[in-house]
Every structure is written in structure tokens, then in C-alpha cells.
Amino acid sequence: MAYYRRLRDLREDSDLTQDELVAKLGMHKTTYTNYEQGKRDLPFQTAIKIAKFYNVSLDYIAELTNDYRHL
């Protein structure tokens, strides 16, 4: 699954740097960077946190749909 592309795209579309985003999410930059680069699996709870932050569905983050809205 290539969710990491969606993470980067969501962040960039929101005009956020990684530093700004991790400050808002309360996580370490290295950890988030590894998620965004696909070097580390995204835990389910973190995926939920990110989906809520961007107000998108988990299916959208997982690239199971291109419809970003909650269903």
C-alpha cells in the first residue's frame, strides 16, 4: 500500500511543513518522516489521528478510494 504518497500530498495541499504538522499532531518528526517516506508502517491509531486532522476517510489515506470525504 502506498499510503505514504497520500500523507505527503495531504500535508503539501494543506501548506504545512513536516515541522508544522508534527507539532500539531504531537509526534516526533523522524517518526512522521518515516511514515511519509514509506520506511515505517503507519499504526492504525496514528492513521485515525491523521484522518481526523485532515478530515478525510481512512480509505482515502490507504488509497482505496480517491473520494476524500468521510463515508
Would you kindly state where each structural domain of the chain is located, as residue ranges? 3-61
CB atoms under 10 Å from CB of 53, counted, come to 15
Which of 1.10.3720.10, 1.10.260.40, 3.40.50.300, 3.30.465.10 is the CATH number of 3-61?
1.10.260.40
Q: Could you report the per-residue pLDDT of 4-55, keeping only the tens digit for each? A: 999 999 999 999 999 999 999 999 999 999 999 999 999 999 999 999 999 9
- What is the pTM for the complete model shown? 0.88
Quick check: 56 and 13 in contact, CB under 8 A? Answer: no
Q: What is the pLDDT of residue 70?
A: 58
Q: What pLDDT was estimated at residue 3? A: 83
pLDDT for 1: 57
Q: What is the DSSP letter of 48?
A: H
